[in-house]
Each structure stands twice: as structure tokens, then as C-alpha cells.
Amino acid sequence: MNTPAMVSPFVGSALQAERPPEQEAGPTLPGLLSPFSASRLEAGGDDGELFEDLLAELEDESFDEAVEALVDEAAAMHLTAPWDGEVDGRDAQLEAWSARLLDEARRVLDHLEETFAGRTPESVAEDEIELAAAQSRTDTMSPAAEQFLGGLVSKVKSGFAKVKSAAAAVARTGLGVLGSITGLGQLTGILKKLVEPLVKRVLNAARNRLPASLQGPATALAAKLGIRVPETGREVAEDFDRQYAQALTVTDEAAAEELLAAADDAGRAAGEDPVAGLDAARARLAAELAEATPGEAPVAPVEQFVPAVTAAMPLVRTAVRLIGRDRVKRLLAAPLAAFIAPFVGHQAARSLAPPIADTGMKLLRLEHEEAAVLGAEALVSTLEETVRQVLSLPAESLADDVRVAAEVQEAFAEAAARYLPPRVLRADLGEDEAEPEAGGWIMMPRGPRPRYRYRAYTHPYRVLLSRPTARAIVVSGEETLEERLLDDGVAAWPAEVEVQLFEAMTGTRRGHLATADEEDGTLSPDEFGELTPQVAGALLQRPALGAHGSRAAGARAGVVAAPGQRLFRVVVPGRPGHARRVRRLAVRVDLSGPAPRLRVHLRIGERMAHSLAAQLDRRAHTQVVAAVRRLLGPPVRDWLARRLGRSRALNAPRPMPPERRRALAEALAEGMITALAKELPAAGPTLAGAAQDPAAGLTLTFTFPFASRDALAAGTPGTPVLAIRPGLRHG
């Protein structure tokens, strides 16, 4: 029987691997069991409609972003906390952080309960709730925590509004819990029971730990069925809304208690952090490769490394069972070990160490790193990327030995071109790199105990950046690099900037990248943009430094990158990074009134606000409208279309078609520009006053009316009403 042959990226020899006997099929995966009682929690008819309405009204982009930011904050704290030899030390710091957040949340909710005790829902105005919540605050917390606490208050107001508006529906359907609410304390009681598991899940996400119900075979089956594992901050926030809406619309209080108990169970983590296990395996393999006998294939160490990679990637664990242990050894470990055999051992590993510029040496703190260690780690990165790519293939592709052998060969060649110096590769690999020896990728951050969460390029680039180029590059969501640099105070073009490059690994979260610059402290995760080949070509004239978007196909909302995705950060010399940025736009659909309304909040930074005020002083209304029109350019419209696709109100019970979302996004942007142009002469003093207010920046809120829910579903808004307020408002 012919055996599959593989070609090394280093030499022209072929590797032979015998075809092993067929493996028995693995056991059938168990089904996913909901923790909720179907008889009590399933809603239908009017009850289900009430639940969907409440869920849509609870949608709060600011709250979702706040929970995402809390995950980032916790992940950064977990990564940068001093390590004294005990993992519990880092966990203790996180637990103290979460306890403070919980205490403050409970204090706010308790104060609302006490303030409005004995008051009927009809007698309490939303402004009163807002004022009472502000009076309860005794301690200032991080911006993310402040935004989160404000979101909790909004949940109270939304729940109370639904209690008032649903009275007729309750009487008609006999829906128990919502109809039994006679005071605000019942709402805060539900929220207090839900907020603790939410904070626990934030910690679990930051530590890469999943609840027991989401681990093991159930996770793999969920992926096969297209079910997303709720491990991002946005998904945790959406689950919180769903649990809150269910608790208010289930049939009786017993069902509500059952649901709240299930929510508490969902906050409990199970097992160790698999990414921490992968960290240890990386360090162990690097040491073994550096000390291995030169020229001898390290089959056993590579074979032991493969399970550590797959353990940190729960959605591909079934691939190992499909291949079988013997086939893993024959088709993965043995050929990969043979590929790297010429480069094991201390001296050979030194030749693989990447070049490090002086600026990179200082930035990454690599002064005391040994070349042999960095070279061995480059081999480890190459092996890890190969294993990840091969075992991410569909099950049917892994069933054939020749197909697997071909995938191993190609994946290893691609990974070698990414992480190893071009001088050791075949001539046909890495030939597109304009400056092949400029730098290389190092696992970060460095420390006495490996906790690798991203890779950094060892050569920061100094670039003279033109304004048209900056305008063409989208950094984060709807914001261009030009807007970012203008907010940072750049006044002359071309601007001299430093470009730092990063690459995501298994387990990378937004908060991990935010720890990249110790001098600036914890950065905003929005400082980092995706480095595609197109961006790398425009920014650095080196498209090969970018990574194609297909590598990040598995990335979800709320996760900054998938393994292998590359990112960049642009730094203006002499200017600090931002602790946290506020998104340019926010969208909110309001279903509480007789007709739907859609609000778009356009947030304008402090520098641009003062620029607009100066133009208004000169009565240069045309320039003001033109400046806002530039803010609402193609990147913003693209972001708006994507955001509309996430809106619960617009996509239930049927998703809004993509072409309709795009048309609605265009209509909203054009309506905003037209409304500003029409109202600016009269609204000029208000805008100028908001710009001069002590609060940073200003917010333009455009409220679009819709004649009916059918008009909302059709995407046909009416003429918007403009409101101008000082500060960067979240709602």
C-alpha cells in the first residue's frame, strides 16, 4: 500500500508515514439539556409576545459594551497581577475586584429599593430612579464599572416601564409574575439574584474557564449544531437580559425561582484553565527542543504537546478522537518531529531566533532573553499553528491519510513562513516579504512563569503617515485612523507615528492586548486594529506582514481576534495611550411608546467639539455639516448595518434581510446629515454651549419615528428630531 509523502519546507526530502489500521468510531456525544423547565419557561401566544417585547426593550448597547469591558479589565488584571508562585494569588486579586463590584451594585439596588418602598409603579418617574441611583454612589470605580452600574439602573427603569405598559396584557393572559409586581423592590430583588452569577461569568471568561454545562463533549456538539458557546462579554450580557425577561414573564413565582437558581449554577466554573495548561506545555516543549540531541527527531515531546493544544481549543477536541492516538503520532507528531530535527539542540535553535531592533528590545523587555530560548519558542509556535490548522479541518477531511498528510505538509510550511527566519526556508517561501529580516514574532508577555496571551513583532516601524492613508484605514468598528489621530491631537500631516504589531494566540482576549504597554498602563482594547494584508500594505508597504481575514473566520463579537489574526497599534510619539475609548455611535430601539422610535447617538470628542464651536462662532455652518458628514462616511454606515443586524427589535421574529439593513443604515446616515443641516442655524448656540461645557465632548442624538412596527420591520423611518447634549452620553 502506498504511503503518503510529505515535503519539508527546509529540505527537499520526503517523509514516509505508514497508513495505520482504521480506528473505531468514538462514542456518541450526549445531547444538550436545558436547565430550565420547558413546561414553565416556554412562552407562547401573547405571553411569548410580551417576553419578546420586554427582551427588545432591555437591549442596551452600552450595557453590553460595559460587560465586555469588565471582561477585558478582569483579563488584564489576571495577566498582569504579580505571581508569587501560587495561582491563588492572582485569583484572590480578581475575587477582591469582583467583590467590590458586587458590593457597589447591591448598594445601588438596595438604595433604590429603600427609596421607593411603598410607592406604586405608576407614581415613580424614570428621572426619580436616575437621581436616587446617583445619590447612592459613595465610591468611584473604573469607567467600565461605572457604565455597568448605570446599565443596571436602566434595567430597573425598563422593567418598571414594562410593568406599567403591560397591565392590560397581564389582565388578559393571567401572566403571574409581571402582574404581581407592586413595587420597585421586586425588580431589584430579581436583579440582585442575577448580578452575582453575571460577575462570576465575567471572571470565568477572563480566566478562560467555562461552566460545567459548556465543557467537554457538549461544547463540541454545540459547535457541530452551530450553537455558540457563551464565553464573550456581549453574550454574557445578552444572557442576563434573557434571564431577567424570563423571570418577569414566566407563569408563576416558583418558575421564576427555578430560573434564578439555574442562572446561579451557570456562573460556576468547572475545571482548570486549559490555556494555562498550554502555557506550561509550550515552555516544556521549548526547553526539550533546546536541549534535544541535534539531528534527532523529538517525536515523544511533540506527541505530548498535541493534546495540550487541543485541550485549549474545545471546539476541535473531537478531531483527536476521530484521528485516534496512533494516527496522531504517525500523521502529526512523527512528520513534524522529522521536519524540525535539523534545528533542535542549543546551537541550532539559536539560528532560529528572530532579529530584534533596539526599539523592540526596549519595548518588549527582551534584554535578558537567550537566543536559543527564542529560537526554540519559534519552533513551538510553528508546531502549535500547524496542529491548530490541521485539527480544525472538518471530520470528513481527517478520515483520509493522504489528505491529512497533505494538510500537515502545507500547514507546517505556512506556519514556518510566519514564525521562522526566511534564511532557513526554501526559496519559494516568504518571498513576498519586502524586509524579511526586520523582525520576528515573540510570545508575550515575558515573565518568570509563562503566561503567553499574544505575540508581538520585534520591530516597531516609524512611519510618515499621510492623511488620505489614515482616512482609508478603519481601526475599530466605525472609526478611521484619521479620526483617531485627530482626537489624539495630530495637527500636521504627514504625521510621524510608530506602528506596533501583534498577533493573537489561543485564548487571546481584548484585555490581554491592552496590557502591551507598561508605560501607558492598561490601554483601551480599541487601540488595536486588524492588520490585514491591505492595511499592512497601506500602512507599512509590507502586505506580507498582514494576515488574511479568513484566519479570523471563527472570531465572534466581543472577542478581539482568533488565533493567527494580526493587529496593529499606532502610537503618536510623546502622547499617552487612552485608558478607554467611547464608541463613536450607539443605537437604541424604543418600543415602549405607541409607535416605535430608533435613536442614534453620535458622540463627538473634545477636540472636534471645540473645532465645531470655533466654526459656529464664524457662522461657518457649511463646514460644520461637512465635518459631521465625514464622520458618517462609509465605515460608519458599514458599522450601522452590522449593528442593525444585532438588534433584537429589528430581527424578531424574523431577521431583517441584509439589503434592507444596508438601506436603513444609509437612510439613517443621510437623515442625520439632513436634520443637522436643517436645524443648525437655530441649534448653533446649543451646540456651541455643549462644546464649551466642562463635560468632555458632546453627543448629537437623532430620534427617528416609525409609523408602526411594520414600518420598523420595513426599515422606513420618518424625519428625525435632533437633541444636543454635553458629554459623551450612553443613552
Q: Among 549, 571, 593, which residue terminates a domain?
A: 571
Mean pLDDT of the region 397-424: 88
Q: Which of 168-177, 180-189, 270-279 has the highest mean pLDDT?
A: 180-189
Asked whether residue 388 falls in the same domain as residue 523, the answer is no
Q: What is the pLDDT of residue 365?
A: 55
Q: What is the pLDDT of residue 178?
A: 66
| Residue 2 domain-assigned (yes or no) | no
Asked whether residue 320 falls in the same domain as residue 176, the answer is no
Residue 423 pLDDT grade (very low, low, confident, very high; cuts 50, 70, 90): confident
| Residue 246 domain-assigned (yes or no) | yes
Residue 486 pLDDT grade (very low, low, confident, very high; cuts 50, 70, 90): confident
Q: Does 163 score more than 90 pLDDT?
A: no
Residue 410 pLDDT grade (very low, low, confident, very high; cuts 50, 70, 90): very high
Asked whether residue 521 falls in the same domain as residue 660, the answer is no
Q: What is the pLDDT of residue 258?
A: 76
Residue 33 pLDDT grade (very low, low, confident, very high; cuts 50, 70, 90): very low
Residue 480 has φ and ψ, to the nearest 5°, of -90, 165
Q: How many domains is the chain partitioned into structurally?
A: 4
Spacing of C-alpha 26 from chain mean position: 33
Q: What is the pLDDT of residue 36?
A: 32
Q: What is the pLDDT of residue 644?
A: 94
Asked whether residue 611 falls in the same domain as residue 522, the answer is no
Q: Do 312 and 210 contact (CB within 8 A), yes or no?
A: no
Q: What is the pLDDT of residue 167?
A: 54
Q: Which residue has the higher pLDDT, 209 or 17?
A: 209
Helix (H, G, I), strand (E, B) or coil at 586: strand
Q: Does 391 score more than 60 pLDDT?
A: yes
How far the first Cα of the chain sits from its last, in Å, is: 69
| Residue 9 domain-assigned (yes or no) | no
Q: Does 18 score more than 90 pLDDT?
A: no
Asked whether residue 231 falls in the same domain as residue 83, the answer is yes
Asked whether residue 46 falls in the same domain as residue 161, the answer is yes
| Residue 567 domain-assigned (yes or no) | yes
Residue 17 pLDDT grade (very low, low, confident, very high; cuts 50, 70, 90): very low
Give pLDDT tens digits for 445-466: 887 777 888 999 988 899 999 9
Please give the Cα distance from 312 to 455 (Å, whole number): 17
Give pLDDT tens digits for 53-71: 888 888 888 899 899 889 8
Give the range of the structural domain holding residue 611, as residue numbers without chain letter. 585-726
Asked whether residue 112 falls in the same domain as residue 257, the answer is yes
Asked whether residue 516 falls in the same domain as residue 607, the answer is no
Residue 102 has φ and ψ, to the nearest 5°, of -65, -45
Mean pLDDT of the region 531-544: 93
C-alpha cell at 361: 528590545
Place of cell 430620534: 703
Q: Does 427 score more than 80 pLDDT?
A: no
Q: Among 513, 540, 571, which residue terminates a domain?
A: 571
Among 241-255, 429-443, 622-636, where is mean pLDDT lowest? Answer: 429-443
Q: Which residue has the higher pLDDT, 338 or 26?
A: 338
Place of cell 448653533: 684
Q: Which of 200-209, 358-367, 416-425, 528-537 has the highest mean pLDDT?
A: 528-537
Q: Which residue has the higher pLDDT, 395 or 380?
A: 380
Residue 25 pLDDT grade (very low, low, confident, very high; cuts 50, 70, 90): very low
- pTM beyond 0.85: the answer is no
Asked whether residue 432 falls in the same domain as residue 488, the answer is no
Residue 708 pLDDT grade (very low, low, confident, very high; cuts 50, 70, 90): very high
- Average confidence score pLDDT of the chain: 79
Residue 552 pLDDT grade (very low, low, confident, very high; cuts 50, 70, 90): very low
If 0-12 CB within 10 Å is exposed, 13-18 middle and 19+ buried, where does residue 595 land?
middle
Pick the closest to residue 582 from 626, 525, 624, 639 (CA basis). 525
| Residue 602 domain-assigned (yes or no) | yes
Q: Do 442 and 354 contact (CB within 8 A), yes or no?
A: yes
Q: What is the pLDDT of residue 346?
A: 87
Asked whether residue 146 falls in the same domain as residue 51, the answer is yes
Among 77-81, 426-430, 693-697, where is mean pLDDT lowest? Answer: 426-430
Please give the Cα distance from 352 to 371 (Å, whole number): 8
Q: Are strands 721-726 and 698-705 parallel, antiparallel or unpaired?
A: antiparallel
Asked whether residue 221 falls in the same domain as residue 246, the answer is yes
Asked whether residue 132 falls in the same domain as residue 251, the answer is yes
Residue 313 pLDDT grade (very low, low, confident, very high; cuts 50, 70, 90): confident
Q: What is the pLDDT of residue 44?
A: 40
Q: Does 40 score more than 50 pLDDT?
A: no
Amino acid at 680: L
If 0-12 CB within 10 Å is exposed, 13-18 middle and 19+ buried, where does residue 76 land?
buried
Q: What is the pLDDT of residue 721?
A: 96
Please give the Cα distance from 127 to 133 (Å, whole number): 10
Q: Do 215 and 314 contact (CB within 8 A), yes or no?
A: yes
Q: What is the pLDDT of residue 455?
A: 93
| Residue 386 domain-assigned (yes or no) | yes
C-alpha cell at 321: 478522537
Among 115-129, 272-286, 321-335, where is mean pLDDT lowest? Answer: 321-335
| Residue 12 domain-assigned (yes or no) | no
Q: Which residue has the higher pLDDT, 333 or 599?
A: 599
Give pLDDT tens digits for 554-602: 333 345 568 888 999 999 887 766 656 678 889 999 887 789 999 999 9
| Residue 18 domain-assigned (yes or no) | no
